[in-house]
Structures are given as C-alpha cells and as structure tokens.
Amino acid sequence: MSPSRRLTDAHPTLATVAQRAGVSRQTVSNALNNPELLRPDTLARVQAVIEELGYTPNRAARQLRTRSSHLIGLRFEPAQEGTSNAMMDRFVHTLVETTARTGHHILLFSGDPADPLDGYDELLRATAVDAFVITDTYAGTPQADLLRRVGAPFVTFGRPWDEPDAQHPWVDVDGACGARLATEHLLEAGHRRIAWIGWEEESRIGEDRRSGWESAMDAAGEDTGGLGIRITDNVDAARMAAHALLEDPAVTGFACASDTLGIGVLHALHERGLRPGADVGVVGFDDSMGAQVAWPGLTSVRQPLEQVAVEIVDLLHTVLSLKPVLEPARMLEPTLVVRRSTQRS
C-alpha cells in the first residue's frame, strides 16, 4: 500500500515548470494567460512541460493576485414558493455546467431563513466570490439592494416585483403567459367556465399567474366572477375547493398555480366519478414529478429553467467584464406540456 499523501504534496508550481522548461516564471504565466505573446516554439516547449508535470495554477495564489476567485455564490434554500425542489435542481445543474465553461464554479452557502441578507456580506468581505446569483426574489429584493449598494455584481432569477424599474440584471419566466397558455388551451378544448385555483393574495408570483388566467378569460368574453379561488399550496385544500366549484356543473375547466393544486383537483374529480380530460380539463404549473406520475397525467406549464440558467450566466459574464449590460431584464416564456388531463378523447 502506498503511503498516504496530503493534498499539498508535490504540487508543481510556476517555478517548477519554468526551471524544467528553461524559461522564467513569467514566461510560464504568459503561456497560460497570454499565449500570443510567446514565440511558438517557446510556447510549445512550455506547454509540453505543463502537460508532463500535470501543472495547474494554484487558485489561491491566482485569486490573491487577480482578486478574482472565479466563484459564483448561490444561497441554497430549501424548497421555495413557486419553485419546487426538483425545479431548483434542474436550474442549478445547468448553472453549474454553464459557469464551468468559463472556469467558474458555484459556491453554495446558507443563511438564516428569517434574514434574506444573511451570508452575502461575509462572503463579499472575504472576497470569496466574484458575484452572486439570487433566486429568492419572490418576497422583494433586499439582497439586490444590498449588493447594488456595495457594488457587488449579481443577477437575479426573478424580477424585482416592488421596483419595476430597478436597473439590476434579472431573468424571469412569464407566469401570466403560462397561465394564459393554460387557459387558452382549455378554451380550445371547448371549456367555457374555467376556474382558477391559486395561492394567497400576498404571493406576487401567484397574482401574476392569476392575471394570465383573467386576461385569457376576458379575451374570450367569459365571466370570471366566483371562479377565482385563493388557497394555500396543498392537495387537500385544492381538492375541497374543486368540490365546491364543481357544484356548478357548468364548471368544466381548472387552471392552477401549481401541480400540487392541479393534483388536488384530480383527486376531487376522482371522488366525483368525473373523468379528467373527457369531462373536466385540468392544468397544473411547473411540470413536476407529480404532474408526470399523476393519474391519468396532468397537463402542466413548464418553465424553461435551463434557458434561465444560461441567460443568467450570460448576464453574469457581461457584468463581470464591466461591460454595459444591454438587455438587463429578460423575460422568458414557459411552454405547455399536454397530458391526458386535458384530452377529450
């Protein structure tokens, strides 16, 4: 058995490479960061030694010198309103992959859930990260205010609800558009009295989505009176709300603010012996695992999370390069994933 080695052992440095290649340390540094400055043969020689020794620049030293850690901070919360865990996973994965393309990594940190600002300042003062991605913007954007104040680069996933003309870069998904898509889809299937089951009024995301339902109904000349319900995000609450609404046999469509709510409606239909799709159309929101496995399949609005991540990284690079941000606000459109809960046949 070979002796256990510590991480620190035997790491070649610039000096090792330089000596071996018969050049100065600076030349090796240039070979890495400004290869066009070297004569081709010198470059080749240096690169060969780098390869041979398996040399990788020490991050700490580089960071100390350049004041750039190539680390992007992301405060990692448990499930958030409007963003189920699995959604975060899709988002974060693309974020990791996309930032990796420019040698950046994601640094996860935690913070007191009661204090949306917790954690940011310390990482900043320690110069541990170059920038932040902020995801919990649904309750205002105090983090954005803080970071703007201290001049730290950041991009948010989520628009600044309370300050529509805040100048910071953000990417968001148009929830109203998603709900409109859902409602129009139900209208096309022949449903007229389409109910909305959404979240409490305090939820900005919830109200935004609801507005999409309203506008689609208005455009179709349908009355929404008594059809818009606000409840907590919970299967049973939705089940009971659906039962109440279904007392009126004219109600044959449900657009919901989440898959959880949509599944609650499905349960109510089941209990009433109504057939999802054939008798009553139901659309959820988020295209979560629940929507995929629910019986008989729940049509749902899917957010382009991968694209959100890509756009965020793009904005991040612009911000970090100190270039002016041409399009600091980017709204992406969700799509509808059709399953049997809205199919008549």
Partner DNA sequence: ATGAAAGCGCTAACAA
Partner DNA sequence: TTGTTAGCGCTTTCAT
Contact string 305-324 vs DNA (x = CB under 7 A): --------------------
Q: What, of DNA, a second copy, none, does residue 4 touch, CB below 5 to 8 Å by kind? A: a second copy
What value does the CA radius of gyration of the chain take, rounded to a whole number of Å? 26
User: Of 8-16, 71-79, 149-157, 323-331, which segment contacts DNA by CB under 7 A?
Assistant: 8-16
Q: What is the 3-state secondary structure (H, E, C) of the chain?
A: CCCCCCCCCCCCCHHHHHHHHCCCHHHHHHHHHCHHHCCHHHHHHHHHHHHHHCCCCCHHHHHHHHCCCCEEEEECCCCECCECHHHHHHHHHHHHHHHHCCCCEEEEECCCCCCCCCCHHHHHHCCCCCEEEECCCECECHHHHHHHHHCCCEEEECCCCCCCCCCCCEEEECHHHHHHHHHHHHHHCCCCEEEEEECCCCCHHHHHHHHHHHHHHHHCCCCCCCCEEECCCCHHHHHHHHHHHHCCCCEEEEEECCHHHHHHHHHHHHHHCCCECCCEEEEEECCCHHHHHCCCCCEEEECCHHHHHHHHHHHHHHHHCCCCCCCCEEEECCEEECCHHHCCC
One of 44, 52, 58, 200 touching DNA (CB under 7 A): 58
Q: Are 330 and 171 in contact (CB under 8 A)?
A: yes
Euclidean distance between CA atoms 345 and 342, whole angstroms? 9
CB of 4 or CB of 34, closer to DNA: 34
User: Of 39-47, 125-133, 181-189, 221-229, which segment contacts a second copy by CB under 8 A?
Assistant: 125-133
Q: Is 267 in the site for a second copy (CB under 8 A)?
A: yes
Q: What, of DNA, a second copy, none, does residue 263 touch, CB below 5 to 8 Å by kind? A: a second copy
Q: Is 288 in the site for a second copy (CB under 8 A)?
A: yes
Residues 146-185 that bind a second copy (CB under 8 A): 149-153
| Shortest distance (Å) from residue 173 CB to a second copy | 19
Q: Is 61 in the site for a second copy (CB under 8 A)?
A: yes
Number of residues that bind a second copy (CB under 8 A): 70
Q: Is 6 in the site for DNA (CB under 7 A)?
A: no
Q: Are 251 and 267 in contact (CB under 8 A)?
A: no
User: Of 27-35, 37-45, 54-62, 183-191, which segment contacts a second copy by CB under 8 A?
Assistant: 54-62
User: Of 60-68, 96-104, 226-234, 331-339, which segment contacts DNA by CB under 7 A?
Assistant: 60-68
CB of 46 or CB of 316, closer to DNA: 46
| Shortest distance (Å) from residue 210 CB to DNA | 50
CA distances from 197 to 1, 86, 183, 254, 274 (A): 64, 22, 12, 7, 18
One of 14, 38, 55, 143 touching a second copy (CB under 8 A): 55
Q: What, of DNA, a second copy, none, does residue 13 touch, CB below 5 to 8 Å by kind? A: DNA
Q: Are 104 and 153 in contact (CB under 8 A)?
A: no
Contact string 16-45 vs DNA (x = CB under 7 A): ------xxxxxx-xx-xx---xxx-xxx--
The contact set with a second copy (CB under 8 A) reads: 2, 4-9, 11, 54-61, 63-64, 67, 69, 71, 76-79, 84-86, 88-90, 92-93, 96-97, 100, 105-110, 121-122, 124-128, 130, 149-153, 235, 259-260, 263, 266-267, 270, 288-290, 292-296
The contact set with DNA (CB under 7 A) reads: 11, 13-15, 22-27, 29-30, 32-33, 37-39, 41-43, 57-58, 61-62, 64-66
